[in-house]
Amino acid sequence: MNIAPLIEYFAGERGQIIPPAALNDRRLLAALLTLRGPGQIPEEVSALLDALLSEEAEARGSIAAEELPTLAAQGAAFGAVAERMRLWRGDLTVLRADAIVNAANSQMLGCFIPGHLCIDNVIHASAGPGLRAECAEHMRRQGTPSQPAPPP
């Protein structure tokens, strides 16, 4: 997929001009998205980004959380909870689940440090900027508006 229009759009938001040789660098796109605070994205840009993220997710494959063995099936003796609890150790971005638990920052917006290998960046990079926008909206509804971290 040609990601040059995405890089040009997100770099343009920051007033940056990207050399033509870097317009297909997926790591550059990831960095631009990591630095971006929550906010609206034009529909055509959002559609391109969604297509890219969907393509990447399909290439990674997936596993359904309900297909994982329960802790009880693995011999754990934690009482009734072991019958319902499942443990996943691996790439979180391939797990199909209703929810994940992440010790996020207090703004719930994820990490703003490009290239940082924290779980926040992994989650937000795989989900795209819509997740950051949803988290910001969730915080606003709770009456604690989130403020994006200042760019490095």
Give domain limits for the chain.
4-61+91-141
Q: What is the pLDDT of residue 100?
A: 81
Express each pLDDT in 1-26 by its tens digit.
Answer: 999 999 999 999 999 999 999 999 99
Three-state DSSP state, 95: strand
Average of per-residue pLDDT across 33-41: 92
The reply to whether the predicted model has a pTM over 0.85 is no
Q: What is the pLDDT of residue 148?
A: 59
What are the backbone angles phi and psi of residue 9, rounded to the nearest 5°?
-65, -55
| In the block, residue with structure tokens 């040009």 | 8
